[in-house]
Amino acid sequence: MNSFLEPFKESIVLKLLLAISTLLYSLITTAQVDKNTQLYKTLKSKDSIIFERSFNNCELEKLEPIIATNFEFYHDVAGIQNREQFINAVKNNICSNPGNHTRQLVENSLEVYPLNNNGKLYGAIQRGKHTFQEKQNSVLKTVGIANFTHLWLLENNEWKLKRVLSYNHLPYTE
């Protein structure tokens, strides 16, 4: 068998075909959903509830129904929080002085990857980048940027945020 493969060991064409095949396979198996799909739109609206409604406008009653009871939040600066700690942190830190802090999703950074079990959707991974603004001299100024990854699970036909990774927090530079 080795003698049969010997002529192909140094073949550039074979190596190129193998590389192209591997690339195409990885694109097919890890493709995010299209931005026009219902899944993408639904999770983008959930992102808006977390940040636009709850974080930016302090409508905390909108936040609690979408957070899973066994929620976990992992932050590279603030550490680990459970559901109660997370909601209290938003309430007592961000919303103690509404309008002084905001978060904006970086345009075109949001990606959604479905999670299936035997062809049935049970969850999704959502990731993206966001910037943070802070009021300075009565003007909101972008002060930071970070990555996030959310694990959403479909529980009783409702999307619940189960896990959050918030990482790579850096000062914002234009």
Which parts of the chain sit beneath pLDDT 50? 1, 23-30
pTM of the model: 0.79
Task: Locate the domains of the chain by residue range.
Answer: 1-31, 32-171
What is the fold of 32-171?
Nuclear Transport Factor 2; Chain: A, (3.10.450)
| Distances, alpha carbon 10 to alpha carbons 1, 6, 78, 157, in Å | 16, 8, 52, 54
Q: Is the distance from CB of 135 to CB of 100 less than 8 angstroms?
A: yes
User: In this predicted structure, what is the pLDDT of residue 85?
Assistant: 97
In sequence order, the 6+-apart residues with CB closer than 8 A to the CB of 150 are 43, 47, 125, 126, 127, 161, 163, 164, 165
